[in-house]
Structure 1
Amino acid sequence: MREELNQGLIDFLNASPTPFHATASLAMRLETAGFRHLDERAPWQTEAGGRYYVTRNDSSIIAFKLGHRAPIDGGIRLVGAHTDSPCLRVKPNPELQRQGFFQLGVEVYGGALLAPWFDRDLSLAGRVTYRRDGKVESDLIDFYQPIAVIPSLAIHLNREANQGWAINAQNELPPILAQLAGSESADFRALLSEQLAMEHDFNADAVLDYELSFYDTQSAAVVGLNQDFIAGARLDNLLSCYAGLQALLDASDDETCVLVCTDHEEVGSSSACGADGPMLEQVLRRVLPDGDGFVRTIQRSLMVSADNAHGVHPNYESKHDSNHGPKLNAGPVIKINSNQRYATNSETAGFFRHLCLENEVPVQSFVTRSDMGCGSTIGPITASQLGVRTVDIGLPTFAMHSIRELAGSQDLAHLVKVLSAFYNSHDLP
């Protein structure tokens, strides 16, 4: 089972270079499992035992099973994750022509580690909005092949590079796509028109706009002398999206179960489709009891916010509290912060720890050092928006926000097992 899950994750990562592609990939897997798409602009007809999913902005998705047990009696079980990862986004007027090279101006999305982006085989993917036959439409594109690179400056020309070199995102990150001959000029929108025609077999009248990201074409893989690790882009947080999906597909039809995978977490979640927006509450209000019944249902519910945790790095062990250094392949991590950067409390942490013990899943704890700042997740955001009890957890990883991250090859199976137990639990605290 572990090998099958890991290969499934690798396939999902490779198929999901952007939040748009991740959402499409999740939707395809849900459709295959019998989930029915609900259009937010149309009336909904749902029933106990039904399986449904909703998308917004093509980059966020909520999937749910309505249990035979009334949610007002048993509450709902929610697992939350996010579809976005730090990356380089193409600017609206990106064409740069310097020294005979065609480059694209980029904007850094989220808190990316920039150094690992150099000397990688990069491709480009995302959503393109265009006009065809007088109508405005959108489609996803993916160049798949390596079409760009950001070459490092040779050490001979920058002798201080290994002493810590501050990367200037404006000047040093524009990828090189091609060399231009003579007076040849670059037209990025023309390139996108050609890609649309190749992928979707039509000619657009005009490319109007786009949301496109560069990504590393190297496949995710199981690595290590004893295959102890999974290496790949966007493990934060597509790993949790995939684990939540597998658990939801395995859930019984007894209880109401929800998987929430939203965009824009890396930039604060404040958007129409982010965790700090109205999407989740609007969806739940359409399928749960009204008024007093809605509040009663939410207060009987619990959310597991699943986002990656910082594993203790052997080269930088001093960056962790000595009693709270999560290890790779030692199970999911309960994340705790007294200042509410995580939404975990003793009751929700205790319940998650109970689930792990009952299902023989190893479990760890993480608290950041008292002299360091703490990151956050969708957990506190969702808890404050919805009023739902929440526990923040995640799998330990290295190189978070790098172009290629590292997780333990045993941990995905641990996470799927405990999330499945959560979805199938009859009694919540």
Structure 2
Amino acid sequence: MTDAADRKKEAEELHKELTFSFKNLWDPENKEEMKAIMDFAEDYKTALDRGKTEREFVDHAVELLEAEGFRVFESDKPLKAGDKVYESVHGKGLVAAVIGTGDPLMGFNLIGAHVDSPRLDLKPNPMYESDDLTLLKTHYYGGIKKYQWAATPLSLHGVVILKNGETVKLNIGEKPEDPVFTITDLLPHLGADQMKKSAAEVIEGEELNVLVGSIPFPGGEEIKERFKLGVLKLLFDHHKITERDLVTAEIEIVPASLARDVGFDRSMIGGYGQDDRVCAYTALKALIDVETPLTRTGMVVLYDKEETGSGGITGARSQLFPSIQRRMVKSILGREPSAI
């Protein structure tokens, strides 16, 4: 064997021993495995469609957990190995656990993910009329490419607390029969100056105003703010919402599109909010699929506010999440833990 052949053989052996490469997961072992992958993807797409906001995703997660025998965690009730519990954090975060057989002070098997995604939020006093149109003022949440949000169908999701204390949940623009909303843009032949701008400046933040109506309230031009009044009348007739209610409402604007398969082979998924709901959903499913308790307690923690620095009472910096974990340890031990 020549020196060159020896060196080649040595290099091949070293490469095999020292390097690492990921297996292409599109090489399933059998048809049953491929079917399982595709079935999982269908459920994942459903989760994306039903959970377009952090509140909606947590609601869907609770439905999945309860369907698999999880119950609300109650601090005054003991926990034992195999118990499945969860606690919602103000409807925008979640802690779920399958209690293990070992000492909880030795740690948990924990997976964390966030369920908020970049979007547009309505400002506190959002509605105004201009040029015989009714619009809603927004500010962007998280990192977005602003030009991607213009001239595309948008839906409106959120929670409104009425004056009488009633909670109204809004989800408009997702059903085929629903109206959608949009942010206007210039036609190509009118946008010569606009096209000279950088991508960050093509659409400015203050231009992200959502078009929601153009039919005035009947009565002629002497009616004050008649275009705005026309939309407010519809909001009140259908949802009992007044303009004052919008001041404290939590309303989010997201793309009005369903998650879809991408490619002739349907090997990819296109859909809004996959950062980071792809991790949140898979972590949740992994916990649900635990049939025999592990030694360590398995736990999934879903956070809010990651896109804006993880602050607030529902973000990862909040003390609410470790507080829930501490209370769970207390319920397992039957006493206040001395250290955690």
For the superposition of Structure 1 and Structure 2, which TM-score range results when normalised by the shorter chain?
Answer: 0.7 to 0.9
Q: What residue is the counterpart of 2:170 in the other structure?
A: 141
Tell me whether 1:264 sits opposite 2:305 in the alignment.
yes
Q: SS of 2:321's equivalent?
A: helix
- Deviation of the 1:111 alpha carbon: 1.2
Aligned residues: 282
Equivalent residue for 2:52, pick from 3, 10, 17: 17
Tell me whether 1:85 sits opposite 2:117 in the alignment.
yes
Q: What residue is the counterpart of 1:173 in the other structure?
A: 208
Q: What residue is the counterpart of 1:213 in the other structure?
A: 252
- Deviation of the 1:122 alpha carbon: 1.1
Structure-2 separation of matches of 1:46 and 1:190? 51
Distance 1:160 1:235, change over 3 A: same
Equivalent residue for 1:253, pick from 279, 293, 297: 293
Structure-1 separation of matches of 2:132 and 2:215? 5
Within a 5 Å distance, the mapping from 1:219-368 to structure 2 comes to: 219-251=258-290, 252-254=292-294, 255-289=296-330, 293-295=338-340
Q: Deviations over 1:280-333 (max 9, x none)?
A: 2101110115676533xxxxxxxxxxxxxxxxxxxxxxxxxxxxxxxxxxxxxx
- Deviation of the 1:190 alpha carbon: 5.4
Structure-1 separation of matches of 2:238 and 2:139? 22
Q: SS of 2:184's equivalent?
A: coil
- Deviation of the 1:71 alpha carbon: 2.0
Q: What residue is the counterpart of 2:3 in the other structure?
A: none
Distance 1:8 1:96, change over 3 A: same
- Deviation of the 1:83 alpha carbon: 1.0
Structure-1 separation of matches of 2:182 and 2:307? 24
Tell me whether 1:156 sits opposite 2:156 in the alignment.
no
Q: Deviations over 1:219-275 (max 9, x none)?
A: 111111322321110000111111011100112322311111111010111111110
Structure 1 or 2, whichever has the larger Rg, is 2
Q: SS of 2:82's equivalent?
A: coil
Structure-1 separation of matches of 2:108 and 2:273? 28
- Deviation of the 1:102 alpha carbon: 0.7
Q: What residue is the counterpart of 1:63 in the other structure?
A: 96
Q: TM-score normalized by structure 1?
A: 0.61
Of structures 1 and 2, the one with the larger relative CO (CA 8 A, separation 6+) is 2
Counterpart code for 2:191:
N
Tell me whether 1:117 sits opposite 2:146 in the alignment.
no
Q: What residue is the counterpart of 2:18 in the other structure?
A: none
Distance 1:195 1:261, change over 3 A: farther
Q: What residue is the counterpart of 2:32 in the other structure?
A: none
Equivalent residue for 1:76, pick from 67, 92, 108: 108
> Quick check: 2:53–2:157 contact (8 Å CA) kept in 1?
yes
Structure-2 separation of matches of 1:103 and 1:176? 5
Structure-1 separation of matches of 2:304 and 2:258? 23
- Deviation of the 1:44 alpha carbon: 4.6
Q: Percent identity?
A: 25
Counterpart code for 2:300:
L
Distance 1:13 1:99, change over 3 A: same
Structure-2 separation of matches of 1:47 and 1:113? 48
Structure-2 separation of matches of 1:274 and 1:58? 12
Structure-1 separation of matches of 2:213 and 2:238? 16
Structure-1 separation of matches of 2:312 and 2:245? 24
Equivalent residue for 1:29, pick from 64, 74, 80: 64
Uncovered stretches (5+) of structure 1, i.e. residues with no partner: 198-202, 296-429
Q: What residue is the counterpart of 2:42 in the other structure?
A: 7
TM superposition outliers: structure 1 runs of 4+ over 4 Å: 187-195, 289-293
Structure-1 separation of matches of 2:80 and 2:239? 39
> Quick check: 2:311–2:317 contact (8 Å CA) kept in 1?
yes
> Quick check: 2:326–2:337 contact (8 Å CA) kept in 1?
no
Distance 1:123 1:292, change over 3 A: closer
Equivalent residue for 2:73, pick from 38, 54, 59: 38
Q: TM-score normalized by structure 2?
A: 0.76
Distance 1:193 1:261, change over 3 A: farther
> Quick check: 1:192–1:207 contact (8 Å CA) kept in 2?
no
Uncovered stretches (5+) of structure 2, i.e. residues with no partner: 1-35
> Quick check: 1:19–1:59 contact (8 Å CA) kept in 2?
yes
- Deviation of the 1:193 alpha carbon: 4.3
- Deviation of the 1:194 alpha carbon: 4.2
> Quick check: 2:214–2:227 contact (8 Å CA) kept in 1?
no
Q: SS of 1:248's equivalent?
A: helix
Moved more, 144-153 or 95-104: 144-153
